[in-house]
């Protein structure tokens, strides 16, 4: 029987070095409550601003809408709003995928990372922080209570909302 230890074991599973934590020495500074609130508010305002051309078009052609004849001004407003909305979605996906930031988080200077400091993926941020967290909010009456508790948990010691706990993420200064 040959017990030569210098030969690799052909039956061993593949080996690779995996690092799931932030770089050594990198200190994570949690984002302040005000910064998170500001980013949340700004994230709500940006899509609204994109929709302004459509609202202006609808306002000018409101009489045409009641008769069923949509005017050119309204169509142009809707097209501009749709293009703006698609651009906003594309930019947001790009920033979230690249660095865990929405447009507002990038402006404020904060980002979402895993609780161990590693990068949070686009899928984790989208599905766990947004979609899964939105489901309880759809329950009549209880949804309001859930959302309130979710936001109030920011005042806890860990400064993590329910959506942060679900996704195992924290918000830090970028």
22/46 Cα distance (integer angstroms): 31
Listed in sequence order, the DSSP H helices in the chain are 33-50, 52-60, 62-67, 72-99, 103-108, 122-123, 132-137, 142-152, 162-167
Instruction: Dump pLDDT digits (tens) for 59-74.
Output: 666 665 566 666 676 7
List, for the chain, all residue ranges whose pLDDT scores fall below the cut of 70. Answer: 1-5, 18-26, 57-71, 73
Among residues of the chain, what percentage have pLDDT more than 90? Answer: 53
Domains in the chain: boundaries:
33-173
The whole-number pLDDT of residue 10 equals: 81
Q: pLDDT (tens digit, 9 = 90+) per residue, 141-172?
A: 999 999 899 989 989 888 999 999 999 999 99
Which pLDDT value is given to residue 68? 63
Name the average pLDDT for the chain: 84
Give the 3-state secondary structure of residue 15: coil
């Amino acid at each position: 029987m040959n017990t030569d230890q210098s030969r690799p074991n052909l039956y061993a599973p593949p080996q690779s070095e995996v690092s799931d934590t932030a770089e050594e020495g990198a200190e994570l500074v949690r984002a302040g409550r005000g910064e998170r609130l500001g980013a949340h508010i700004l994230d709500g305002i940006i899509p609204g601003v994109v929709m302004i051309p459509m609202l202006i078009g609808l306002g000018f052609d409101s009489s045409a809408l009641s008769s069923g004849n949509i005017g050119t001004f309204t169509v142009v407003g809707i097209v501009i709003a749709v293009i703006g909305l698609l651009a906003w979605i594309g930019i947001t996906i790009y920033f979230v995928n690249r660095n865990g930031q929405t447009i507002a988080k990038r402006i404020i200077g904060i980002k979402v990372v895993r609780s161990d400091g590693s990068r949070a993926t686009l899928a984790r941020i989208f599905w766990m922080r947004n979609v899964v967290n939105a489901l309880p909010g759809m329950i009549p009456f209880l949804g309001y209570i859930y959302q309130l508790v979710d936001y109030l948990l920011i005042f806890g010691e860990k400064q993590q909302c329910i959506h942060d706990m679900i996704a195992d993420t924290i918000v830090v200064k970028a």
